[in-house]
Amino acid sequence: MNVSFAIWYDSGFTSIFVNYTSSPEAKYPSAINEVYVATKWVAAHGDEINVDGKHLAVVGNSAGSNMAAVTALKTQTRRRPRVQGPDPVLAGDGRRSREIVLQRIRGRLFPRPKHDGMVLDNYVPDVAQRREVYASPLQSSIEQLQGLPPAHIQVAANVLRDDGLAYARKLDSAGWR
């Protein structure tokens, strides 16, 4: 597993970016488990690698943002390690993302046959699992999101924009600031 580190000098946090195994090679929850295990390892062994294991921020972009958001949820649920929040452009809400993605890009960026096998079909092929919080943090209840560490959410004008904004609104409803 390849983990990159950076120090957020203004914040004092070490940011962790885990180079996880992506789909279609790894199906849910493989990548999430990789990111969580790497985060736990860094928290436990920070002194050995010259980082502060008590002040961590898990970051990612695109699907990696989903992994970061889920890692924050897992660390809160399991009470270890304590991390600063994700930097998500979220992978999306399993209930609606696939159809939204197909509606927006059909015929524009990818031909339909190529894209139909992507997104959630590759990441979470089991449709029932798409409703799991760790598959899609947007499925979280307000109660599950309360007390999460601060997050920086940046969205782009792409097919995942609405999901990122919806997650930010949900965090806001949970009292996140």
Number of domains within the chain: 1
pTM: 0.76
Residues whose CB falls within 8 Å of the CB of residue 26, separated by 6 or more in sequence, listed in order? 20, 34
CATH number at residue 56: 3.40.50.1820
Tell which wins on pLDDT, 131 or 98: 131
* Residue bearing the bigger pLDDT, 91 or 132: 132
| Structural domain boundaries, residue 142 | 2-173
For residue 136, give the 3-state DSSP assignment.
coil
The pLDDT value given to residue 7: 57
Number of residues that make up the chain = 177
Which of 41-45, 121-125, 140-144 shows the lowest per-residue confidence on average (mean pLDDT)?
121-125
Q: Taking residues 7-14, what's their average pLDDT? A: 67
Angle at 7 between CA 155 and CA 22, to 5 degrees: 50
Greater pLDDT, 138 or 113: 138
The confidence score (pLDDT) of residue 30 equals 94
The confidence band for 141, taking pLDDT boundaries of 50, 70 and 90, is very high
